[in-house]
Structure 1
Amino acid sequence: MSARAFHDLHAAAQPLVLPNAWDYVSAALLVDAGFAAIGTTSLGVAAARGLPDGHGITRQATLELGHLLASLPCLVSVDIEGGFSDDPGQVADLVEELASSGVVGVNIEDGRADGTLADPTRQSGLIAAVKTRVPDLFVNARVDNYWLSVEADVGATLARARRYVDAGADGVFVPGRLDAATVEALVAGTAVPLNVLYLPDGLGTGELAGLGVRRISTGSLLFRTAVAAAVRAARTVRDGGTPSERAPGYADIQRLCDRKVC
């Protein structure tokens, strides 16, 4: 599936709601549910392996998942944390390999594990290297001012966003708790599609659409919800009850995975 089609989803009548998967089956079930595009969640990828998110230590796992998901009949964008390297060439190598398997987008963040923000000049260099190597790929530049509560104001956030756009970013992702006035100002001040994170107690998808947001990501929400549901089901069985949530059957999961060997 083409990168152009993924770009086009950011200009559709309604915002792109991008669910974030953490393994093959979670992505395949989302495709079955009708989602045309799937992202990945770096927390889910890391936590499933007993590793912390954001420390740049899941490069191989991220690459392997990208290759797996690219075999699905959907558009795939991969969260590559901060790029897994400060070397622009190595980041471009990673993205080129993902693109060669069929991945159409990446998300690259400027937040760092120690709670600081990357130097914007260096981050712009990573983005520019990726766009030079794979120009058609959709690069979503994540700006973590609000997420990390560092210089969490519109002016500082937009200053970073504009530098990343100048370096070639196709979209800007500002996660965190944002009120309507902040979202409106970010939309107005950004020349590319704005992506925000869906929060259950935050602005709804309809409100975000009305403010001009073009992409809404679920982040790690689906992974955390799935884990919570698994624990809840286990407790219910232990306590003599019957889980109320309907789960996919054994044959349903087998059918999804059989596609890879047919």
Structure 2
Amino acid sequence: MTAETAVPAATSFAALHHRPGEPLLLPNAWDHASAAVLAARGFSAIGTTSLAVAAAVGLPDGEAATREHTLRLALTLGSEPYLLSVDAEDGFSDDPGEVAELAHQLWAVGAVGINLEDGLGPAALHAAKIAAVKAAVPGLFVNARTDTYWLGDGDGDGDAKDTLRRLDAYRQAGADGVFVPGLTDPGRIAHVVRCVDAPLNVLYSPAGPAVPQLADLGVRRVSLGSLLYRRALGAALDAVADIAAGRVPGGTTPSYDEVRALERSVSARASANSTG
């Protein structure tokens, strides 16, 4: 993505959060191949998942250990013909200036969105990070995540009030959207939608409302998080078990040539970039 196309792309990404009754279904990739096959299925916007990025290299998730790996993945995916939003944990720093610098680097390689989580830390600090990012890169879509339901007990009026308090602070700091993973109760989802003046993102849960119901509740973005990565690992385990038991593995299996085609597309783009 060039500097000339970055702003229009970011505008397009933001617009995907403002379609009443049609939330953005955002699948989350962990490498070039996973992003490429999702894009080939018609997804115009793709996110990354911090858990998968961390697990793939044997590092802990949510402990600011994968900053460089996240940047490297963004560099790989940012020039692709889809809109990229990067899961950046808490920005990998408690210094708002350092988080803003990370955001600027992500923007420079083609990302149009960033997801920043508060980890139930001080709301004022997270708001300061958001404000710093928006000051440094106004066009970057900031999805401000609170972990009140993800890390807290997710129940009771206290959690609901803390959620709204945090989301309001992040919105006032300039967040373009808000994210409450772990929020699955339809009544609570509808309440947040009514109370927060920003597109609400929820994390899809097989045990929670389906996407059509989330759309009816007013949700504007539905992320899959690490679900696809975990399903991929599960599929690998199921396939091994089937083979060991003498069964033919079920499920979808891309061919060797189909996967090699992804490699060739990278080589072709690299050649075009070097000659263009």
TM-score relative to the length of structure 2: 0.91
Note the C-alpha offset of 1:216: 0.2
Task: Say whether residues 1:141 and 2:148 are aligned partners.
Answer: no
Alpha-carbon separation, structure 2, partners of 1:136 and 1:12:
19
Partner of 1:8: 15
Partner of 1:240: 246
Contact 2:70 2:88 in 1 (8 A): yes
Q: Match of 2:74? A: 66
Shift of 1:209: 0.3
Q: 1:260 is paired with a residue of what secondary structure?
A: helix
User: Shift in Å at residue 160 of structure 1?
Assistant: 0.3
The partner residue of 2:46 within 38, 48, 60 is 38
For 1:136 and 1:150, how far apart are their aligned partners in 2? 35
> Which stretch shows the higher mean deviation, 248-257 or 149-158?
149-158
- Give unmatched runs, 5+ long, in structure 1: 112-116
CA distance in 2, matches of 1:142, 1:177: 12
Unmatched runs of 5 consecutive residues or more in structure 2: 269-276
Alignment match, 1:225? 231
Question: How big is each residue's C-alpha offset from its partner over 1:153-174, in whole Å with a ceiling of 9 and x where there is no partner?
Answer: 2221010000001101000000
What is the alpha-carbon root mean square deviation over aligned residues? 1.1
| Structure 1 position 150, deviation (Å) | 5.4
Q: Give the CA deviation at 1:151.
A: 7.3
Matches within 5 A, 1:80-95: 80-95=88-103
Aligned to 2:126: 123
Aligned to 2:196: 190
Pick closer, same or farther for the CA change 1:201–1:151 going to 2, 3 Å.
Answer: closer
2:63 match: 55
Deviations 1:171-212 (A, max 9, x none): 000000421110000000110100000000111111110000
Is 1:19 equivalent to 2:27 in the alignment? yes
**Offset of residue 235 of structure 1:** 1.6
**1:174 maps onto 2:202 in alignment:** no
Runs of 4+ in structure 1 over 6 Å off: none
Is residue 172–residue 194 contact of structure 1 (8 Å, CA) maintained in 2? Answer: yes
Match of 2:219 in 1: 213
- Paired amino acid for 1:5: S
Q: Tell me, in whole angstroms, the C-alpha distance in 2 between the residues paired with 1:130 and 1:218.
A: 24
Of 153-162 and 205-214, deviating more is: 153-162
Q: Match of 1:77, as an amino acid? A: S
Contact 2:113–2:141 (Cα < 8 Å) also in 1: yes
Give me the whole-angstrom Cα distance separating, in 2, the residues matched to 1:151 and 1:232.
32
Decide whether the 8 Å contact of 2:154 with 2:182 is kept in 1: no
CA distance in 2 between partners of 1:222 and 1:98 (Å): 23
- Which residue does 1:102 correspond to in 2? 110
SS in 2 for 1:256: helix
**How far apart are residue 82 of structure 1 and its match?**
0.5
Q: TM-score, length-normalised on structure 1?
A: 0.96
* Alignment size in residue pairs: 257
Within the alignment, does 1:164 sit opposite 2:170 as a pair?
yes
- Partner SS, residue 107 of structure 2: helix
Residue identity in the other structure for 1:145: T
